[in-house]
Structure 1
Amino acid sequence: MTGWFSRWGAWRDRGLLDFDAFYIVAQRVWLGDPAQAYRFDRLVQMQMDASGGKFSFMPWTYPPQFDLLVAPLALVPVGTAYFLFSAATLGFYLLTLRAVAKSYFALVVILLSPALLINLMCGQNGFLTGGLIGLACLTIERRQVAAGLSLGAMIIKPHLAIAFAVYALLARRWITVITATTVILSSSILCTLLLGPQIWSAFLGSVNDSATYLGRGAYPLFRMISVYAMLRTAGFSASLAFLSQVVVAVFALSIVARAIYRRLPAHWCLGLAAVASVLISPYAYDYDLTILGVGMALLLPDLTRLASARERAAIYSMTLLAGSYTWFQILRACVQYGTGVIDYPVPSFGGFPLLVLLWLTVRVLLRGAGEQAAVQTVSTEGDLVDSIGAALRGRQ
């Protein structure tokens, strides 16, 4: 992919991928007009100039904090920038995932391999967001400041951190909440000083435009993993699909809240939050499944112990299927049309295995929690009987 982005040999006349959008915005930061990237008509022209006239639909809706984060990439050629960005974020993600998964690291990587390849192929930031979420999960119980820094940095993709914000609030991790809020406010002030106050109106305008594009189905919905995309490609109206997405989001967050209320183990609650987080936003893609990998890393040690053989097979299958659907469609396009480019309507499917996975996970964990409570009750009753017996023997 480094050779592809560097336009070596046969790749000289190539189209644009996601990382090219990062690089274009990084250039605009140094040119002093990053607000232009939030105007779709201007951004299209920039993308056509970079690709030799090829049209690409890649609106820019990232918060200004991400503009500053990618700005250093423009200091080197695009191929080198891709290599540095992908290698650094992949290393960060794998190291964090290994710390979370421990002996289950290899299994998690195998289950997550389709999503990992997607991130490498398009140069997306899923490794960065997945690493930040993983770091927050590692530290939120004992080093809340570090967790707050990680969650605050998720301002680059805030819709993927909603479930963890709910966890931090309901679990009363106040230092984490205060630290994350401080990071968000201070980074916003920095963006205003460096990029100008107009960057915020440009950003909000782009977000509004993206909602319109999403309602019209302009995005590649087949790559989205949301219930919204699944229903839209099935022929339902945008309003009904969005309402269904709201219902799913509330349901997913209620599971996290219920787990905290029942005082389930913290790593179970955090794992459920990771699974829920990819089901909340209608604008969630296959490359965001790196966060699901963090959830699996937290839950698999107990799921493999508590689940039956069929349940384990289903959990593994749903995790693989959620990330493999995009590759299946690309392969089908290669076989049928001789190219992996998909410019025709394709159903979205990724939301279904994620819903099944959440249901299976909750089912197994609640059953395990019930069995554990029953064992503790029997143990407590046995201790009570022993105590009474000892007391009676003492009186005798």
Structure 2
Amino acid sequence: MSLPMPKSPGPTSKPARLTAPHWLTCQRVVLYAALVLSLDLAFLGARVWAAYVSHLPAAAFGYDFAVFWSASYVTMHSGALSAYDPLLIQQAVLSLLHRPPTDFGTPWVYPPTFLLLVWPLSLLPFPPSYLAFVVIGVVFAGFACSQILMQRLTWAFWVPALAFPSVWIAVMAGQNSFYTLGLAGLGLSLMDRRPWLAGICIGLLAIKPQFGIVFALALLLGRQWRVIAAATITVATLCAISGLVLGFETFGKFLISLSLFGRFIVERSAHWPGGIASAFGGARSLGLSPTVAYLIHATFAVPAVLLVSYLSIIKARLELRAAAIGVATILAQPYLLGYDLVWLALPILFLVVDGHRHGWLMGDVPILIAAWLAPLVFFIMGPAVLIVIVALMVMLIRRSRMVPGCAPLLPTSRPVSH
């Protein structure tokens, strides 16, 4: 089917009424997502069989969470500085997962702000601690998504959400992606309504500071002073508490550990297990030098950051600014793994809200579906996932120029009146 394009806006232009994608009903969304969810669960079952029936160490769940739990255990028994000893952490992780040593280590490279939060994890044995960490993370991320959509969540939300492939990647790894996604989602959805609370959520991204850099730029250019103040106070408070509890010398250890790990990534990124999802990782997998890989990475990251800057300066509607921040944060990371792609939920959800309120352009819905499937694309075709993310950028540019209409995504939804 074809969707009519809106006319160019003029001083007397009326809002264009865009054709809704009637083929995508609530029932079909649930059905198609359920089919993908069945594939996710089949893979999950195969992984369980391989890990706990066939006893293949490489298939064990919670590989990344084992690093968190080990950092907690080492901190409790040997002090916080010991968490930054890569040999101690590797020994603990390999012991937990019954794995032989590999060329790819398992260092703790997170800041003391995150070490403070994971410190209690080893109070529980590894399996229940892992389960609690994942379940709480999924619930928190789901709550944040409900704030983006600002409506009661039904099966039409939960089935696609649970079928989102990166969810299961993050679950099996035991990563903190659900927590950073939840903080970002809450911060963005509350930014214009409750700026102080939004700033606290964004400030808490100091647990993984590289995911907060684009936020800082967007807030400054958007002159969101109350959000900036709340985020700054939150970061300062979290750092102060971390230093008082764990010792301020842990920040120096963190910087050293981060530098060593950064060099390790550059040296080994061409052969990284499972691949790196960024433009840098894709270039390195093709055998290109680190310098060329960083230049290629910049060709993706810089336009995304410029788009965020432009939308922030002109005070574009919140949905477009939030979606752009999500896209730029993903594209800006040289070290991006499959579980980080759970952050694609941000542009997907905010663009769904924007489409519901202002109408759809031709190609919008297929791009969102492709973004939802992007984690599968990564595992099948590696860096091809970048094409999908660039398509989201193009969609954002087009929607920032469109004449608002009134055509909801799902025909069963009530259209928003203007």
Q: TM over 0.5: same fold?
A: yes
In the TM superposition, residue 289 of structure 1 has moved relative to its aligned partner by 2.3
Aligned residue number for residue 388 of structure 1: none
Distance 2:335 2:56 in 1: 30
What is the one-letter code of the residue matched to 1:70? V
Aligned residue number for residue 276 of structure 1: 328
Aligned residue number for residue 200 of structure 1: 251
What is the one-letter code of the residue matched to 1:366? S
What is the one-letter code of the residue matched to 1:128? Y
* Residue pairs, 1:73-84, within 5 angstroms: 73-84=121-132
Contact 1:104 1:300 survives alignment (8 Å):
no
* Residue pairs, 1:1-396, within 5 angstroms: 10=53, 14-15=57-58, 17-52=63-98, 54-55=100-101, 57-102=105-150, 106=156, 110=160, 113-218=164-269, 220=272, 222-303=274-355, 306-317=359-370, 319-328=371-380, 347-363=382-398, 365-368=399-402, 371-372=403-404
Contact 2:278 2:331 survives alignment (8 Å):
yes
Deviations 1:270-309 (A, max 9, x none): 1211121111110122222232212221111334664445
Deviations 1:44-63 (A, max 9, x none): 23323333452253222111
Query: Normalized against structure 2, the TM-score is what?
Result: 0.76
Query: 25-34 or 99-108: which moved more?
Result: 99-108
Compared with structure 1, are the counterparts of its residues 37 and 13 closer, same or farther at alpha carbon in structure 2 (3 Å cutoff)?
farther
Deviations 1:144-175 (A, max 9, x none): 11111111110111111222222211121112
In the TM superposition, residue 191 of structure 1 has moved relative to its aligned partner by 1.8
Distance 1:269 1:104 in 2: 24
Compared with structure 1, are the counterparts of its residues 140 and 234 closer, same or farther at alpha carbon in structure 2 (3 Å cutoff)?
same
Compared with structure 1, are the counterparts of its residues 248 and 104 closer, same or farther at alpha carbon in structure 2 (3 Å cutoff)?
farther
SS of match in other structure, 1:54: coil
Contact 2:319 2:354 survives alignment (8 Å):
no
Q: Which runs of 5+ in 1 are unaligned?
A: 330-346, 374-396
Distance 1:32 1:42 in 2: 10
Contact 2:219 2:312 survives alignment (8 Å):
no
Query: 161-170 or 62-71: which moved more?
Result: 161-170
Compared with structure 1, are the counterparts of its residues 180 and 258 closer, same or farther at alpha carbon in structure 2 (3 Å cutoff)?
same
Distance 1:326 1:72 in 2: 34
Distance 2:114 2:138 in 1: 18
In the TM superposition, residue 241 of structure 1 has moved relative to its aligned partner by 1.0
SS of match in other structure, 1:60: coil
SS of match in other structure, 1:61: coil
What is the one-letter code of the residue matched to 2:132? L
Compared with structure 1, are the counterparts of its residues 175 and 84 closer, same or farther at alpha carbon in structure 2 (3 Å cutoff)?
same
Aligned residue number for residue 385 of structure 1: none
Which structure: greater helix fraction?
1
Higher relative contact order (CA 8 A, sep 6+): 2
Compared with structure 1, are the counterparts of its residues 159 and 9 closer, same or farther at alpha carbon in structure 2 (3 Å cutoff)?
closer
Distance 2:195 2:294 in 1: 35
Query: Normalized against structure 1, the TM-score is what?
Result: 0.80
What is the one-letter code of the residue matched to 1:68? L
Contact 2:319 2:353 survives alignment (8 Å):
no
Contact 1:29 1:68 survives alignment (8 Å):
no
Compared with structure 1, are the counterparts of its residues 281 and 174 closer, same or farther at alpha carbon in structure 2 (3 Å cutoff)?
same
In the TM superposition, residue 83 of structure 1 has moved relative to its aligned partner by 1.3
What is the one-letter code of the residue matched to 1:110? P
Distance 1:115 1:123 in 2: 12
What is the one-letter code of the residue matched to 1:297? L
What is the one-letter code of the residue matched to 1:187? L
Compared with structure 1, are the counterparts of its residues 221 and 108 closer, same or farther at alpha carbon in structure 2 (3 Å cutoff)?
farther
Higher-Rg structure is 1
What is the one-letter code of the residue matched to 1:184? V
In the TM superposition, residue 222 of structure 1 has moved relative to its aligned partner by 4.3
Query: 143-152 or 308-317: which moved more?
Result: 308-317
The Cα RMSD (Å) is 2.9
Deviations 1:352-383 (A, max 9, x none): 321222223322x1331xx359xxxxxxxxxx
Compared with structure 1, are the counterparts of its residues 186 and 262 closer, same or farther at alpha carbon in structure 2 (3 Å cutoff)?
closer
Contact 2:367 2:388 survives alignment (8 Å):
no
Contact 1:65 1:188 survives alignment (8 Å):
yes
What is the one-letter code of the residue matched to 1:356? A
Deviations 1:319-360 (A, max 9, x none): 03421135548xxxxxxxxxxxxxxxxx54433321222223
SS of match in other structure, 1:283: coil
Distance 2:246 2:395 in 1: 46
Deviations 1:75-124 (A, max 9, x none): 11111101111111110111110221246964696277101111111111
